[in-house]
């Protein structure tokens, strides 16, 4: 999903999101400010710049929504795993190798024909990094954080998702250290698909709850 990052290193001009627009001067100022900060921390022996590189590389290339999609695909394919995920999501997810920072206390919430789940953090940006990677900008920005709890249907409409009027919506505000992963419903017409093909139908947004799973092409 984010394999285009190599081309984006110095290009913020093409990404005018929300309150970022027209802030080129601010971004230049921030570049200088952060460079000064890193320089003095390195001079003081407090920071290993290669550790900073390693952290960035981890979250740009290694940990992302493909992890979560594999969890969902396995839950769709393996009822024993799905039960484990319901009972102890942290352990079930760790069995696939996804552990650690911002995934220490996982909960999986399953969409059903009558109920749609949506995840938000109104107070900051809590997000299940271990299975979804770093959150998208919109998830961290005031519009989503303010509206998800009061007008989720309006928010979902902006993602192109119109749920049936009678569908119940459950919004989970991540106010503590539990991190939530939405398990979307398995789409129709996917009976013959293996886990890899199923995982390809599961977007990041479907695991936040701002989308549903895709249909096979």
- Interface of this chain with another protein, residues 38 to 77, rule: CB under 8 A: 38-41, 43-48, 50-56, 58-60, 63
**Catalytic residue at 121?**
yes
User: How many of the chain's residues bind another protein (CB under 8 A)?
Assistant: 95
Whether the CB-CB separation of 178 and 107 falls below 8 Å is answered with yes
Nearer to another protein, 201 or 205 (CB): 205
| Residue 86 interacts with another protein (CB under 8 A): yes or no | no
Of 46, 47, 101, 76, the closest CA to residue 206 belongs to 76
Cβ contact 159:170 at 8 Å:
no
Q: Which helix (H) or strand (E) holds 138?
A: helix 137-140
Handedness of CA 168, 118, 207, 202 (dihedral sign): positive
Stretch that binds another protein, among 33-41, 70-78, 79-87, 192-200 (CB under 8 A): 33-41
State how far the Cα of 128 lies from the Cα of 178, in Å rounded to an integer: 9
Q: How far apart are the first and last CA of the chain?
A: 17
In total, the chain counts a number of residues equal to 217
Are the CB atoms for 148 and 194 separated by under 8 Å? no
| Identified catalytic residue from 77, 121, 174, 203 | 121
Q: Which stretch binds another protein (CB under 8 A): 66-74, 75-83, 118-126, 184-192?
A: 118-126
Catalytic: which of 95, 126, 146, 203? 126
* Interaction of residue 87 with another protein, rule CB under 8 A: no
Judged by CB under 8 A, the residue of 88, 104, 185, 195 near another protein is 104
Lookup result for tokens 């394919």: 77
137 binds another protein (CB under 8 A): yes
Q: Does 206 bind another protein (CB under 8 A)?
A: no
The answer to whether 141 contacts another protein (rule: CB under 8 A) is yes
Nearer to another protein, 1 or 197 (CB): 1
Q: Which one of residues 173, 190, 200, 214 is an interface residue with another protein (CB under 8 A)?
A: 173
Q: Coil, helix or strand for 76?
A: helix
């Amino acid at each position: 999903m984010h394999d285009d990052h190599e081309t984006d290193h110095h290009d913020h001009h093409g990404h005018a999101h929300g309150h970022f627009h027209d802030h080129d001067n601010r971004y230049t100022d921030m570049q200088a400010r952060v460079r000064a900060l890193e320089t003095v921390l390195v001079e003081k022996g407090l920071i290993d710049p290669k550790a900073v590189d390693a952290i960035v590389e981890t979250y740009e290339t290694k940990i992302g929504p493909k992890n979560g999609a594999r969890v969902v695909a396995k839950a769709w394919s393996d009822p024993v795993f799905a039960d484990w995920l319901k009972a102890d999501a942290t352990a079930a997810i760790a069995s696939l190798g996804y552990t650690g920072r911002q995934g220490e206390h996982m909960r999986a919430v399953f969409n059903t024909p009558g109920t749609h789940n949506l995840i938000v953090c109104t107070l900051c940006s809590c997000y299940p990094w271990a299975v979804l990677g770093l959150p998208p900008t919109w998830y961290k920005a005031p519009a989503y954080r303010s509206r998800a709890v009061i007008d989720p249907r309006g928010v979902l409409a902006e993602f192109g998702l119109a749920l049936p009027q009678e569908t119940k919506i459950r919004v989970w505000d991540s106010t503590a250290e539990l991190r939530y992963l939405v398990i979307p419903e398995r789409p129709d017409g996917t009976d013959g698909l293996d886990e890899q093909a199923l995982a390809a139908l599961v977007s990041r947004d479907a695991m936040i709850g701002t989308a549903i799973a895709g249909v096979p092409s």
